[in-house]
Chains A and B, each alone.
Chain A
Amino acid sequence: MSKFLIKRLLLTLPTLFGVALVTFLLIRVIPGDVVELRYSGDRGAVSQEVLDQERHRIGLDQPVWRQFLTWIGGVVRLDFGTSMWTGAPITEEIKLRFALSLQVAIMATIVAVLLAIPLGVLAALKQDTWVDYAVRLFSIAGLAMPSFWLGIVFILFLLVVVKWLPPMVYTPLWVNPKENLAQLIWPALAVGYRYSAVATRMTRSAMLEVLREDYIRTARAKGLMQKLILSRHALKNAMLPVMTVVAIEFAFLIGGLVVTEQVFNLNGIGLLFVQAVAHRDYTLLQALVMLVASMFILANFVMDIAYAWLDPRIRYR
């Protein structure tokens, strides 16, 4: 097992390196750089000399390959450097925002799982009845509604019907849990609905497949109660693909909330990403993309391990 773990872990390294390289090159193709943007307000009042000096100070005058080596050298030591725009250490810039995005992602996952598993199982058990159709329509609708629009509708509903607005300023969970939840539950619901749709569909199809297996027929034939067949035989086996979908969606939620954060005025990773693009803040962008991509690679890694561990048919070599 430990050999398999190490091999699988080593396999993630080339992908991570590739992500780093692609990110690094891609953002340098974006026209303009941070120095130009910072002084653009002065309308040419700044001499070329000052611009060159500033570029030299943050290392933008170096050849690209050397910049890359310096940066990668830092990343290996988990040192992401300082933001080119604010000058603050990257870890400081990201820390609070990451906590916020992580919390929304976790809450959305809870919403999604609580909706998806009962609905998916129900739809599979009542396949091709009106229950099944209703669940499928509900989940297809969830995939169709943009979560930022759902967010707008939530806010509108609270404003017009309940005459109450969720707090618009972020309070950390450990400072005031009530304020914090009152604000974050709405984005979590808006995103969680879409997310549950993906998971519901997966639960339904995985259950349908498992229910056709021989061991379920055997369990039925020996007179096992329906409840036990479901909980002990069917659900357990159907959960693996569902877990994969949940894990991957979770990883993408960390950075993929760009638009929802905008609607709810949340200062999370997604919004930071948009700002970093606008400022051409290369170091911050690189760190953010690496963070988001490694979350995804990590989720895949964890799921591979979980498969090997939970499913005895998969031999790990």
Chain B
Amino acid sequence: MAISPPFDQVVIEPARRPALAVVWEFARRRPLGAIGAVIIVVMLAVATLASVIAPYDPLAIDFGGMLASPSSAHWLGTDSFGRDVLSRLIYGSRTALLVGFGASLVGAIVGAVLGVASAYFGGRIDLYLQRVMDIFLSFPLIILALALVAILGNSIPNLILAITVPMIPRCALVIRSSALSIREMPYVDAARAAGFRHRRIILRHMLPNVMAPFLIMVTAFVGQAILLESSLSFLGLGVQEPIPAWGLMLSGAAVEFAERAPWMAIFPGLAISLSVFAFNLFGDSLRDALDPRLRTQ
């Protein structure tokens, strides 16, 4: 008698298409999303190759060349310390992407685990978790992040943590609602009947099936996290001088010298807007492609 493998090892392979074909299909059907993806890839390249592309040292102070307007030597001009704006923008992309991806990944992972657990266990656990989420959802993002930065201090890892916390309940909420319908699926019942542990059912059967909303949340959060980081840095509560960060470049001198040196105020803002724009474009198209039901949100 042939022994059939246990339930969870029976894998029905979806018809695999070459990755390139999938990418091409996405680009053809969703041109806006493709534009977003291209900008993101360029940003990632710029951030990794910052030391190669940047024309100047982003920290090099030159009091002789303060507030120089854009020229062939300094394409985007210099700031009130004579530092090259373009080089600072290039290095600033590292900060933005680090905080953006760091906060959104951690926030979405913790949120997803909480959301799935909440939906899976139901009953009391679900009720209490939801109440706690409600409490954290009642604080505006920036207020909670501000309080956390004040508690933790403003190193970059702390900044990531402060931005992560307000994202967790927002992600948990969305993931919970998709997990609720998955819990009713026959294969979850089967897994339970087969006597699997909770941990295994949650990690191996439920989590993989909320991948679509999870990916959507991650991309949506990267843009949000970049915005939040730049707001905190602008207030002087985020990234500290002399680390190049876009929000920080907009604070203080940029406003003070706005009339004399408008490039100081305009380019960092454009960099923030363009990157958040790219993540939103890509995230929107990804959402439409992966999960048409989520279109309303």
Contact = CB atoms under 8 A, between A and B. Distances in A.
B150 A30 contact: yes
B230 A156 contact: no
Interface in A3-28: 14-15, 18-19, 22, 26-27
Contacts of B280: 140, 143-144
A125 B268 CA distance: 36
Contacts of B139: 19, 289, 292-293
B128 to A, nearest CB: 11
- Interface centre among B136, B137, B284, by most chain A C-beta atoms within 10 angstroms, is B137
B147 interface: yes
Given A152-B250, A205-B295, A258 B235 contact: yes
Given A140-B284, A152-B269, A205-B296, A258 B143 contact: yes
Interface in B36-93: none
B95 interface: no
A18 B150 CA distance: 21
B262 A148 contact: no
B255 A152 contact: yes
B221 interface: no
A199 B148 CA distance: 29
B281 interface: yes
B142 interface: yes
B103 to A, nearest CB: 16
Contacts of A30: 147, 150-151
A273 interface: yes
Contact of A26 (B147, B247, B268): B147
Given A14-B131, A258-B142, A27 B147 contact: yes
Interface in A112-148: 133, 136-137, 140-141, 143-146, 148
B258 interface: yes
B266 interface: yes
B138 A297 contact: yes
A141 B273 contact: yes
B99 interface: no
Contacts of B259: 156, 159-160
B135 A159 contact: no
A192 interface: no
Interface residues of B, number: 46
B268 to A, nearest CB: 8
A144 B283 CA distance: 12
A292 B143 contact: yes
Given A15-B131, A26-B147, A146-B227, A152 B32 contact: no
A148 B131 CA distance: 33
Contact of B277 (A27, A140, A206, A259): A140
A283 B124 CA distance: 34
Contacts of B231: 146, 148, 258-259
Given A15-B138, A18-B132, A296-B138, A140 B281 contact: yes
A18 B280 CA distance: 33
B214 interface: no
A20 to B, nearest CB: 9
Given A136-B32, A156-B259, A206-B296, A259 B141 contact: no
**Chain A binding surface, main DSSP class:** helix
Nearest to A29: B151
Contacts, number: 131
Contacts of A202: 296
A297 B268 CA distance: 36
Nearest to B280: A140
Interface residues of A, number: 49
A277 interface: yes
Contact of A292 (B140, B151, B268, B276): B140
A262 B235 contact: yes
A147 to B, nearest CB: 9
A270 to B, nearest CB: 8
A243 to B, nearest CB: 14
A22 B135 contact: yes
A164 interface: no
A274 interface: yes
A146 B269 contact: yes
B248 to A, nearest CB: 13
B234 A274 contact: no
Contacts of A215: none
B109 interface: no
B223 interface: yes
Interface string B248-281: 0010001100110010011011001111110011
Interface string A15-59: 100110010001101110000000000000000000000000000
Given A30-B147, A153-B269, 18 more contacts: A18-B131, A18-B134, A19-B135, A26-B151, A30-B151, A145-B273, A146-B269, A148-B231, A149-B268, A149-B272, A256-B142, A258-B146, A258-B231, A258-B235, A289-B143, A292-B139, A293-B138, A296-B138
Interface of A: 14-15, 18-19, 22, 26-27, 29-31, 133, 136-137, 140-141, 143-146, 148-150, 152-153, 155-156, 159-160, 202, 205-206, 208-209, 241, 252, 255-256, 258-259, 262-263, 273-274, 277, 289, 292-293, 296-297
18 contacts: A19-B138, A22-B136, A26-B151, A149-B268, A150-B269, A152-B255, A152-B269, A153-B266, A156-B262, A159-B258, A241-B296, A255-B143, A256-B142, A258-B143, A258-B231, A273-B143, A277-B147, A292-B143
